[in-house]
């Protein structure tokens, strides 16, 4: 599976050492990732590694081995079950020790919000360290932490709407990306599309895929369509051409806020010309 990550067309590959690895295989899995990361072919996709939780006995070895032996291939570390900003600060300090100032761009952090405690502390978590580049919703663990009934993935997805809104506001205030967690039913494309559409409508920047077959539907949802692009260009043209701060366009008033939205849409469209997922 890690080897396959070098060939799929996505923005970021997340290699996992946490929940997908049994306790007895933690050391073996870490060695496998170090070996696979040493091979060519990862660019241009970004590479992230989800380490074991900071309450586990493995995380410090994860960080030390990965940074010292494969740090040149790793763009970011995904931190599971973040509940306190001090967790990220502690990891930041450890990364600084291992990097030793040798990297041009420090390894970034991405925080998974997967518990009620994490959701409650999300604002200080989002502001904990300049290394943080994304907040990610972990729907399965969060649902368990909140005591939601074991239900259909799509019903659970809808029930977590308030959590998605909370995470989005924190991410935007901290100027980091907001990423939706995976839709667990890999053979349900319609459910995946509806889940992704809800996240996109809220303003999320992307969504995790669990399986290669989920990539293309996610691209369709998160890449602006022709009508959206045309409208964005029209907004920019109207504001520049008129010379005023607010003008009427197609029966709607557009202004500086409209310009910002239009620029964001065109930036997303440009990024969509490359692999997205």
Position 110 scores a pLDDT of 98
pLDDT for the residue 271: 67
Same domain, 72 and 191: yes
Q: Domain check: are 86 and 195 in the same one?
A: yes
In sequence order, the β-bridge partners of residue 137 are: 113
Q: What is the pLDDT of residue 188?
A: 94
pLDDT of amino acid 244: 66
Rounded CA separation 60/68 (Å): 12
Q: For residues 78 and 98, state if they share a domain.
A: yes
Q: What is the pLDDT along the chain (277 residues), one digit of tens a residue?
A: 888 888 888 889 999 999 999 999 999 999 999 999 988 888 888 999 999 999 999 999 999 999 999 998 999 999 999 999 999 999 999 999 998 766 678 999 999 999 999 999 999 999 999 999 999 999 999 999 999 988 787 888 889 999 999 999 999 999 999 999 999 899 999 999 999 999 999 999 999 999 999 999 999 898 877 777 777 787 778 777 656 677 778 778 777 777 677 777 777 777 655 433 3
Pairing outcome for strands 206-207 and 252-254: unpaired
The CA distance from 215 to 276, in Å, is: 8
| Rounded CA separation 146/143 (Å) | 5
Stated pTM of the model? 0.85
Q: Does any domain span residue 202?
A: yes
Residue 272: what pLDDT?
59
| Predicted local confidence at residue 150, as pLDDT | 81
Structural domains of the chain, count = 2
**DSSP secondary structure letter of residue 44:** T
**Do 13 and 46 touch, CB atoms closer than 8 A?**
yes
Please check whether residues 205 and 237 belong to one and the same domain: no
Torsion of CA 12, 17, 21, 22, to 10 degrees: -170
DSSP SS3 for 195 = helix
Classify residue 102: in a domain, yes or no: yes
> Do residues 202 and 231 share a domain?
no
Domain final position from 222, 237, 252: 222
| Among 183, 206, 222, residue at a domain's last position | 222
Does one domain contain both 38 and 131? yes
Does the residue 277 lie in any domain? no
- CA–CA separation, 64 vs 213, rounded Å? 34
Domain housing 261: 226-271
Helix or strand or coil: residue 115? coil
Claim to verify: residue 180 and residue 202 sit in the same structural domain: yes
Q: Is residue 210 part of a domain?
A: yes
């Amino acid at each position: 599976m890690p080897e396959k990550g070098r060939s799929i067309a996505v923005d970021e590959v997340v290699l996992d050492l946490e929940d997908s690895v049994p306790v007895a295989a933690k050391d073996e899995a870490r060695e496998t990732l170090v070996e696979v990361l040493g091979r060519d072919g990862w660019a241009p996709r970004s590479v992230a590694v989800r380490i074991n939780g900071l309450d586990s006995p493995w995380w410090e070895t994860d960080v030390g081995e990965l940074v010292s032996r494969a740090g040149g291939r790793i763009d970011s570390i995904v931190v599971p079950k973040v509940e306190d900003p001090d967790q990220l600060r502690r990891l930041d300090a450890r990364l600084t020790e291992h990097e030793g100032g040798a990297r041009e761009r420090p390894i970034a952090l991405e925080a998974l919000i997967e518990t009620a405690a994490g959701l409650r502390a999300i604002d200080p978590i989002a502001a904990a360290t300049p290394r943080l580049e994304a907040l990610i919703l972990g729907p399965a663990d969060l649902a368990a932490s909140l005591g939601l009934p074991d239900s259909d993935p799509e019903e659970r997805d809808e029930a977590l709407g308030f959590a998605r809104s909370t995470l989005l506001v924190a991410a935007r205030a901290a100027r980091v990306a907001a990423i939706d967690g995976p839709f667990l039913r890999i053979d349900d494309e319609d459910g995946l599309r509806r889940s992704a559409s809800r996240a996109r409508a809220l303003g999320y920047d992307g969504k995790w895929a669990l399986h290669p077959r989920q990539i293309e539907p996610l691209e369709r949802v998160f890449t602006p369509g022709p009508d959206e692009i045309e409208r964005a260009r029209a907004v920019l043209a109207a504001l520049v051409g008129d010379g005023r701060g607010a003008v009427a366009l197609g029966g709607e008033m557009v202004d500086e806020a409209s310009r910002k939205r239009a620029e964001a849409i065109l930036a997303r469209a440009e990024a969509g010309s490359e692999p997205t997922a």
